[in-house]
Amino acid sequence: MTDFSDALTTALTLVATMDRDLTEIVLLSLRVSLTAVAIAAIIGLPLGAALALLRFPGRKVVIVLMSALMGLPPVVVGLAVYLLLSRSGPFGTFGLLFNPGAMILAQVILVIPIIASLTQQVTEDLWHEYEEQLQSLGASTMESVWTLLWDGRYSLMTAHLAGFGRASAEVGAVMIVGGNIDHVTRVMTTSIALEVSKGDLPLALGLGLVLIFLSLCINMGVHSLQTVGRRWQR
């Protein structure tokens, strides 16, 4: 028990003094996961909306597949990206492996199905309501996709939150493709895993606290945005 309180004290000191190593790790984590969510959104939002309003054979299969992919095991994605980016792999020449770029790529793959699938659900409901009106005004498919995304933007924030939660909490993929290299690819989750295995609990605990705190802040921020926005919308 004293172990724990010692660790907690040290952890809080590290956080309070904005320890250099800690700050570096936190900033890299944020950079990797936020970039991954942004890229995944650029792909996943239109993909989800298109799935909601286009009718084509095999649409249901794609929707089920997309929703199944939400549960992709991070280590498997990490392995796949590793194979693609390793020197002997098809994209080996870019030398991305063990760089933040590789970690972003892996997280993008993990987050796209989440954003696309949740977007499809949100926009499909909206499309039921809007379809005839937009058709009547003569909106093109592109315009309709954009309208659904814009009018559903407050509900869609939840999709981004879920994506960010997935990206920032996962350890398997970034460990494999990033390699947890100090000052290069070490992020919060991988260093927590490392510090625990080394027995350095204070740093691990400090990082854990920061991770939870950041995720709380982001969630609260988005929820208040949603509340304000929604009140305005309906």
Residues that bind other proteins (CB under 8 A): 129-130, 132-139, 143, 147, 151, 232-234
- Least distance to other proteins, CB of residue 136, Å: 5
- Nearest residue (CB) to other proteins, 87 versus 234: 234
Q: What's the gap between Cα 56 and its chain centre?
A: 29
Task: For the CB of residue 153, give the shortest distance to other proteins in the complex, in Å.
Answer: 9
Q: Which is nearer to other proteins, 3 or 132 (CB)?
A: 132
Q: Specify the 3-state DSSP secondary structure of 200.
A: coil
Whole-angstrom distance, CA of residue 132 vs CA of residue 130: 6
Supply the minimum distance, in Å, between the C-beta of residue 97 and other proteins: 44
Closest CB 47 distance from other proteins, rounded Å: 22
Query: In the bound complex, what is the minimum distance in angstroms from residue 139's beta carbon to other proteins?
Result: 5
CA–CA dist 98, 118 (Å, integer):
31
**Residue among 24 and 129 whose Cβ is closer to other proteins:** 129
Query: Which value, to the nearest 10 degrees, does the dihedral of the CA atoms of residues 215, 124, 225, 27 take?
Result: 30
CB of 131 to other proteins, least distance (A): 9
Of the two residues 19 and 131, which places its CB atom closer to other proteins in the complex? 131
Q: Return the number of the residue (136 or 197) whose C-beta is nearest other proteins.
A: 136
First to last CA, the chain: 52
Rounded distance between C-alpha atoms, residue 149 and residue 22, angstroms: 37
- CA neighbor of 69 nearest in space, from 44, 101, 102: 44
Alpha helices in the chain (DSSP H): 2-16, 20-53, 59-69, 74-85, 100-137, 141-151, 153-169, 172-178, 188-198, 201-233
Nearest CB to other proteins, comparing residues 87 and 231: 231
* CB contact at 8 A, 215 and 135: no
